[in-house]
Amino acid sequence: MIAYVFKRLTALILSLAVASLVIFLVVEVAPGDPASYMLGINAQPDTVAALRAELGLDVPKTQRYLNWVGGMLVGDFGTSYTYRSPVSEMVADRLWISLPLALMALALSTLIAIPAGVLAAARRGGVADAGVMSATQFGVAIPNFWFAMLLVALFAIKLRWFPSGGFPGWDDPAAALKSLTLPAIALALPQAAILTRVMRSSLIDILGEDFMRTARAKGLSRRQALWRHGLRNALIPVLTIIGLQFSFLLAGAIIIEQVFFLPGLGRLVFQSISQRDLIVVESVVMLLVFAVITVNFLVDLAYAIADPRLRRRA
Amino acid sequence: MNRNLIIGACLSSVVLIGALVSFMWTPFETDTVNIAARMRLPDGTNWLGTDHFGRDLLSMIMVGARTSLAVAVVAVGIGMGVGVPLGLAAAARQGSLLDEVISRLNDLIFAFPSLVIAILITAVFGAGAVNAIIAIGIFNIPVFARLSRGAALSLWQREFILAARTAGKTATRISVEHILPNIANLLIVQGTIQFSLGILAEAGLSYVGLGAQPPVPSWGRMLADAQTMVSLAPHVAIVPGMAIVLTVLGLNLLGDGLRDALDPKLRRRVA
């Protein structure tokens, strides 16, 4: 187990290193100098040079890359060119919107997918199964930002149950949750469709296992066997997908945040790109990649703990 | 014939025919503004209604289909064109340094949140259809590389490959002449799935303004334009959205149908 963890950990660190290099290179070749962008076209050359020095843009690229990575290792993500405030603070502020949004979407998708998947698997081949499976076909085909627009039209503009966008802050938790509800529903829909399919096929596999027949043979009803033995075993792959979905919800919220004018991480990225605030772009993208890679690693690890056969294969 | 295959093929061909016909004929011009006829509901003249500039929505959808299909075709092409040779090369030299490097790179690209990187690429190199294609295409590479490597590995154990090797064929020739035809079915099925994902990704990028630029009509941007009018004229938002949903649904059903149709044959051949 220790050897396995060590091997996976090395791969994790290597992935992060390559990822940081790729992000740095992509952002570095971007046309436009942040300093001259900030000062406008009438700036004096020496003013631009002074600002470049202040922002740390005058040192060679390799040195800048090392400074950036070294800073991140100790929690210093640099200082925003535009706002002159630490990137880590800006990110922390935005996380208070993006993280609860991702969690709400994840909870919703799980709450929809598990019952729907169980229903479809238990009634395999029946009307309920066909209904659930058609619904998932639509679920994966609907672009979530379009679904979000329809939700706004119906629940915000027509019925006025929810706000159509913006975020009131956490001082009023009820209002804050209300403004995250529609975005969470829009984000959850395609994820729920995928998760439902995983739940269904996983449970169908389990229902064909010998121990399910044994459970019936010892006198459990179909329903009892399904809930006591079937569901518990079928949940393992489902939990893996839930783990993977979390990081994608965090990253996938970018477009949904645009629909609802939510000042989350996604909007921060868009703003920073248009303001040539490269250090913010680099650090936020790196954080998202870090989240995805780390969650993948933890899921793999949890799997290896649960199933010793996987350790040998890696 | 199975039902998925028929429905999927019908939906997909409607979109394809619409896009092709738009090169020669559309019900109305898509680049003329007719404010007097704006936000009309569907009727006998404008079958799907008009938008806020009075442009005919059916014509816009037909021309927009070109953008969606072109982006998705080229993105899948990039994925297959680069991914399949890499996967085949890795499988031909299993366990070699090359195999290790290709597999690690695959894992790495998989780990990137693709949407974030696509946004980064289009934002940094400029918004536009070409950069959207590249951004989407890059993430198709590991999908096809992994798929073809996995499928090719099991084929390399087979007797007919051994026969080809004894006959003196090189690894490259075997990959092209024997492995590739045997994994073509898998590639086609995966291709349709990546195609529909490409259409969704293009719509998302265009929606946030990073895909095809005006005046080229695109479904995603039609939705972005419609957003402010969603309560005044819901059909302006519903029509492009339904176009995306039906196209993606059609392609997914086509993929499922093809898998069902091709799989038994495939299983007989491999097992």
Q: Chain B closest CA to A143's CA: distance in Å?
A: 6
Q: How confident is the model at residue B271 (pLDDT cuts 50, 70, 90)?
A: very low
Rank B31-35, B38-42, B233-237 by mean pLDDT and report only the highest: B233-237
Using a CB-CB distance cutoff of 8 angstroms, which residues of chain A are in contact with residue B112?
19, 289, 292
- B104 vs A11: CB contact, 8 Å cut-off? yes
Q: Which run of H or of E encompasses A304? A: helix A278-306
Tell me, yes or no, if A137 comes closer than 8 A to chain B by beta carbon: yes
Arithmetic mean of pLDDT over chain A: 83
**Percentage of residues in chain A having pLDDT higher than 90:** 12
The pLDDT, as a whole number, for residue B266 is 47
Of residues B115, B220, B234, nearest to A254 (C-beta) = B115
Which residues form the domain of B130?
Answer: 3-17+50-270
Tell me, yes or no, if A301 comes closer than 8 A to chain B by beta carbon: no
- A288 vs B116: CB contact, 8 Å cut-off? yes
Within 10 angstroms of residue A189's Cβ, the number of other Cβ atoms is 22
Mean pLDDT across B101-126: 78
The pLDDT, as a whole number, for residue A192 is 92
- B203 vs A15: CB contact, 8 Å cut-off? no
CA separation for the pair B204, A256 (Å, rounded): 10
Does the pLDDT of residue B185 top 90, yes or no?
no
Mean pLDDT across A166-172: 83
CB A149 within 8 A of CB A259: yes
The pLDDT, as a whole number, for residue A112 is 93
Interface predicted TM-score of the whole assembly (ipTM), two decimals: 0.84
Rank A49-53, A83-87, B112-116, B201-205 by mean pLDDT and report only the highest: B201-205
B-contacting residues in A 229-268 (Cβ below 8 Å): 247-248, 250-252, 254-255, 258-259
- From the list B87, B98, B101, B78, the residue with the least C-alpha distance to B151 is B87
Mean pLDDT across B244-248: 93
Mean pLDDT across A24-41: 73
* Residue B266, domain member (yes or no): yes
The full length of chain A comes to 314
Q: Report the CATH number that the domain containing residue B235 is assigned in CATH.
A: 1.10.3720.10
Mean pLDDT across A55-60: 74
Using a CB-CB distance cutoff of 8 angstroms, which residues of chain A are in contact with residue B196?
141
Mean pLDDT across A268-279: 80
* Residue B24, domain member (yes or no): no
Mean pLDDT across A22-42: 74
The count of structural domains within chain B is 1
The pLDDT, as a whole number, for residue B1 is 57
CA separation for the pair A204, A132 (Å, rounded): 14
Could you tell me where the beta strands, DSSP code E, fall in B10-169?
none
The pLDDT, as a whole number, for residue A185 is 93
Of residues A146, A152, A247, nearest to B241 (C-beta) = A146
- From the list A221, A246, A230, the residue with the least C-alpha distance to A118 is A230
Per-domain residue ranges of chain A? 94-274
Give the bridge partners for A86, in sequence order.
A79
CB A228 within 8 A of CB A241: no
What CATH class is the domain A94-274?
A: mainly alpha
Does the pLDDT of residue A299 top 50, yes or no?
yes
